[in-house]
Amino acid sequence: MNKFLTMIIVAAFVAVAASAQTPAWNDIKGEQLIALQTKGDPARGQAAFEPCEGCHRKDASGRTSGAYPRLSGQHGTVLIKQIADIRAGRRINPKMEPYIDDHALTPYEIADIAAYLQGLPISAENGKGPGAGVAAGKQIYDKDCATCHGPGGEGSAAQFYPMVAAQHYRYLLREMEFIRDGDRKNSNPEMVKVIKPYTNSELETVADYLAQLAPPKK
């Protein structure tokens, strides 16, 4: 059984066993539930991803400027949730909305794309920060973030926590600011509580640290 299928089965059990307790930020139903219960086909996913390559690049490494995130190697469950949330209006992403709507993805295509992207190698050539805040950022991350996102920034497929290691610095900083300021509407409320008191300087150090981390091994 491949790793992606294993995670899909885990996610399906999460959806069924915890449906009454699932927090609002991740209410598993509709397209998201169908996609999670579907065994994605990477070959079909590669074809379906082609219209996205103009922004996210052919290897899904995103843009070092931070304009577009690295998607390669990201957990399939996370990708499915974020795409489903954008389509449902739970996460506002004006740049991506036209592409998702125009291409009329089905939940099965979402599963295919997630399977394809998850299996891609993770490029170490990501956008880095200034480097001066790494030590301070590690201290904050280890204290407040590692419990969910993992000690190496590897995230958790079963819990829908994204891999944040080796992501582009400016993308990380922008999204953390969105979460802190309430502009990313599908954010985990527990993370919002943790990140709410952070100053801009503290966010910069955390982003600096995460962008410098090596990609987690597959």
pTM of this prediction? 0.88
Q: Are 167 and 61 in contact (CB under 8 A)?
A: no
pLDDT band at 16 (very low <50, low <70, confident <90, very high): very low
Residue with the bigger pLDDT between 22 and 102: it is 102
Percentage above 90 pLDDT, the chain: 76
Q: Find all residues with CB under 8 Å of 91, minimum gap 6, and list them.
A: 82, 85, 184, 185, 186
Query: In whole angstroms, what is the distance from residue 6 CA to residue 147 CA?
Result: 23
Rg of the chain in Å (alpha carbons): 16
What value does the mean pLDDT take over residues 101-108?
77
What value does the mean pLDDT take over residues 91-97?
82
- Nearest to residue 100, comparing CAs of 161, 59, 55, 67? 55
Q: Give the N- to C-terminal CA distance of the chain in Å, as an integer.
A: 16
Q: What tens digit of pLDDT does each residue of 158-204 get?
A: 999 999 999 999 999 999 999 999 999 999 999 999 999 999 999 99
Give residue 9's pLDDT. Answer: 44
User: Domains in the chain, please, with CATH?
Assistant: 3-118 (1.10.760.10), 134-212 (1.10.760.10)
Give residue 171's pLDDT. Answer: 98
- Nearest to residue 216, comparing CAs of 133, 144, 139, 126? 126
Q: Examine the pLDDT at 77 and tell me if it is beyond 50.
A: yes
